[in-house]
Structure 1
Amino acid sequence: MSDTPTTARRFLFLNASTRVPGVMGNTEALARTAAAALPSGIEQQWLRLADHPLPPFVDHRHDIGTYPLPEGAGRLLLDATLAATDLVLVAPVYWYSLPASVKLYLDHFSAWMRVPGLDFKARMAGRRLWLVTTSGDRAKAQPMIDSTRLCAEFLGMQWQGALWGKGGAPEAIRADETALTEATRWFEGV
């Protein structure tokens, strides 16, 4: 596992939608609109968390204290995370919070920080964390946005903010012209 050179930008989009495969949700549609505006030389990797389920997180911080390198989906997500310069959580608001798949992914950071020699937290410092989300109204997304910002701060990541759009029924985002316009400029300066 090697870090990506600092001059090369590599975006990892983690889609946390629970819609059935093949049905694009509002949050993914908003994220793909934003990603389409990225310069052509910037690498993008898209992973759907439901396609790479993680095992339940078991907290061994205060008994065993260390963790082995993960295997399977955990290793795939760890490697993709460390290879990215920019981590984009594509996460609709569920019950005022992050979807369970993103929360579980973040829980596994606690293990990755305790893999001997991995230096996960130090390696995440300076990378950029972005959030794309949709919900019925913006105020209901704020707890999730705050939680994601706090995760970035804890890891020493650069918090890039949240792109929010009006979600709900499938295709609802298409009526939110403000969010779609903002999406086309969201990654400006990258």
Structure 2
Amino acid sequence: MIRVLLAEDMHMIRAALGALLRLEPDIEVVAEVTRGDEIVDAALRFRPDVAVLDIELPGIDGITASVELREKVPGCRVLVLTAMGQPGQVHRALAEGIEAFLVKDAPGDRLADAVRRTAQGLRVLDPELVASALAYGASPLTPRETAVLKEAARGAPAEEIAGRLHLSAGTVRNYLTNAVSKTGARNKVDAIRIAEDAGWI
């Protein structure tokens, strides 16, 4: 039996994924979590063979969780669920050594096959998804610019961002200006949109 951990914060999607996998005679769903920061603890407790992780999770994202998982539960392989429109995140995942991806709008029968292939240590890569990620390239933003833009995307003003990130308000404004320039945006709002569409934040 292939033991599977599911990490998905949207209840209906998680239930649908679990239902699809439970139809398979050789797959057992041993744990389900809704947050990225619950993944490693659940994996340590239930020892799954494969963790099926959504990229977008509260707590920590699926890519960060997969890196922690590889360190703490090396026997567990990772299958990442992603949206077609997030090439920046796929590029980041590839850079982190994740080799199994399934596009969220793939036909349902591909899920079990992807889980089996991941459990065997085989690559599960959608050629169109990888081509899109490689064409889009890595994020041009530094980690600090990314952090500032993430806070700005939540609607926080420069002074509040400065307090949270232990920076001066002037430095925050400089990082935002850099982010606008590097993304080729017209303004801060446009930079946020571009970075979110690319999966950079």
Give the TM-score, by structure 2 length.
0.42
**Does 1 or 2 have the higher relative contact order (CA < 8 Å, sep 6+)?**
1
Quick check: which one's strand share is greater?
1
